[in-house]
Amino acid sequence: MQQIRSGQSFLYRTNGYDSTVVEVRMRDKVTGSYLQVALTDTARRFPYLTQKMVEKDGAYYLHRDDNSMVVNKTDKFRTLGSMATGYHLLDVTYTGSCIRVAFHHGLCDGRGVMPFIETLLYGYCCLKYRKKFSAEGIRQPGEPIPAEETAEPFSRDFYAVDASAVPEVEKDGYALPESTSTPDACYHTEFLLDEAAFVRAAKEVGATPTLFAAMLLSRCVLDENPQADKPIICNLAMDLRSAIGMEQTHRNCVGSAALPYTAADQDVPAEKLAQKYRELLASQRDPNTIKTGLNKQIALFNKLDELHSLEEKRKLMSFFNGMVNNTYVISYMGRLRLNDYAQYVDSAHFYSDTICGLTINMIAAAGKLSLEVLQGFHETKYVEIFAKALDPYGLLWTTATERVVTGKDKSFVTASHQAERYYVKPETV
């Protein structure tokens, strides 16, 4: 039984938190029996991702879940933390040629769940196609589980930092007129690109794929909002693991880098803008800067530990409800490792529900790069202008803008019921 420290910002939301989904589209119809065997084997390798949530005196803990993980053939998403998933915070379903892995951000982040998905796909493809594929870089059932995989980035102790050396970065971004802290739905549009073509275009101007996407989208947003009285800011999700020496941890370890864009940047050559963004990103990735930001979160979590009821903690964390990151967010999950069975995978997609504002989720697989546009509003002008901007750089196809519902978890209800079955020793990492 271990108290959750990282991921606490996702635990005290009103009526639960929305599932995040990684959808892998295979080239052939999914065989449920093979997927079940692969899931059972994968769960043995990642026991820390098969736990359930227990709440006691307002604190959330992870506890072993003795319920087996069971795949289900459905085009709906099952409710995480409920009886439907055996109280698990991660669930695997399939329909047609799609395999979907839904997870709770209180359990892990995208980088943390990626090895699980890679092991699952490896095991499934070996069974489905009756071949022993290359397991290079794939974590295997039966191998020792390093302690580093469950290291906690947010212990009670603060990191040693020099707060005076933290660079000032413009973070006060322009608020999109369409954004709202109380969206009635989430709307989803898919862009699928030829990864090699997009990477090549990015390299030609000295940018990474995420920086290149930010350069294109920021220009699009400013073109649609020439009256903007503040910079267009891309809040770029940033993996913090390397800065604190915890490369293997599955726990939430994500921050945000701010990349401002103004009217003055519209006349700047792409190469110079890319260089500016690389320098801004490097300064915000500096270990001292990252640890300073982590200390702020540790202070918040320590304050949470001083409170002893769910009501008090939810009140303290209520500012997360309906939080809008001005101007927009880009989150790149990375590239799925597929080795010599990539031929059986068509593409991967990464999305969630209840987005306040505008978010772009990115993931690469089998030579394709997907950009999932998630909006808390139905207006499609940003989608349309972004599609035109992407078209010269390997855009393969675009879907219609449709509502997406991944569903909220039930752990905020069931976790307290689970506490009645277990004695919770108040220990934290």
Tens-place pLDDT, residues 44-64? 999 999 999 999 888 999 999
Closest Cα to residue 325, out of 364, 355, 290, 365? 355
215, 357, 360, 386, 401 from 224: Cα distances, Å: 15, 15, 17, 11, 18
Tell me whether the omega of the peptide bond preceding residue 262 falls within 30 degrees of 0, making it cis: no
Q: Let me know: does 97 contact 28? Beta carbons within 8 Å.
A: yes
Q: Which of 26-30, 291-295, 423-427 has the lowest mean pLDDT?
A: 423-427
Q: What are the tens digits of pLDDT across the range 327-357? A: 999 999 999 999 999 999 999 999 999 889 9
The residue type found at 270 is A
Residue 322's pLDDT is: 79
Read off the DSSP letter of residue 318. Answer: G
Classified as helix, coil or strand, 340 is: helix
Q: What is the DSSP letter of 18?
A: B
- d(CA 117, CA 4) in angstroms, rounded, equals 22
| 132 backbone dihedrals φ, ψ, rounded to 5° | -90, 100
Run of H or E residues at 62:
strand 59-63
Confidence of residue 412 (pLDDT cuts 50, 70, 90): confident
Q: Is the pLDDT of residue 428 over 80?
A: no
Q: Is the pLDDT at 272 greater than 60, yes or no?
A: yes
Q: Rounded distance, CA 300 to CA 155, Å? A: 12
What is the rounded CA–CA span in Å between residue 367 and residue 358? 26
Residue 422's pLDDT band, with cuts at 50, 70 and 90, is low
DSSP result, 258-274: EEEE-GGGGGS-HHHHH
Q: Is the dihedral of CA 341, 345, 346, 347 positive or negative?
A: negative
CA–CA gap between residue 10 and residue 183 (Å, rounded): 18
Does residue 269 have a pLDDT over 90? yes
Spatial strand order in the sheet of 98-103? 72-73, 90-95, 98-103, 20-26, 345-352
CB–CB of 183/377 below 8 Å? Answer: yes
Q: Is the pLDDT of residue 424 over 70?
A: no
**Residues comprising the chain, all counted:** 429
CA distances, 316 to each of 153, 155, 310, 356 (Å):
21, 19, 10, 20
Exposure b/e, 142-169, CB count within 10 A at least 16 = b: eeeeeeebbbbbbeeeebebeeeebeee
pLDDT at 101: 98
User: Which band of pLDDT confidence, cut at 50, 70 and 90, is reported for residue 425?
Assistant: low
Tell me the C-alpha distance between 363 and 243, whole Å: 23
Only one residue has tokens 């209800």, namely 413
Helix (H) or strand (E) holding 94, with range, is: strand 90-95
Q: What tens digit of pLDDT does each residue of 227-260 get?
A: 999 999 999 999 999 999 999 999 999 999 999 9
CA dihedral 147, 153, 156, 158 (to 10 degrees): 120
Q: Check residue 250 and give its pLDDT.
A: 97
Question: What confidence tens digit (pLDDT) does each residue in 306-330 have?
Answer: 998 999 999 999 988 878 899 999 9
- Element of type H or E holding 350: strand 345-352
User: For tokens 């930001």, what's the residue?
Assistant: 293
Phi, psi of 274 (to 5 degrees): -65, -40
Residue 301 · residue 307 · CB < 8 Å: no
Can you tell me the distance from the alpha carbon of 427 to that of 183, in angstroms, rounded to the nearest whole number?
Answer: 38
How many angstroms separate the first and last alpha carbons of the chain?
A: 11
CB 113 within 8 A of CB 89: no
pLDDT reported for residue 211: 98
Q: What is the dihedral of CA 6, 64, 136, 118, to 10 degrees?
A: -70
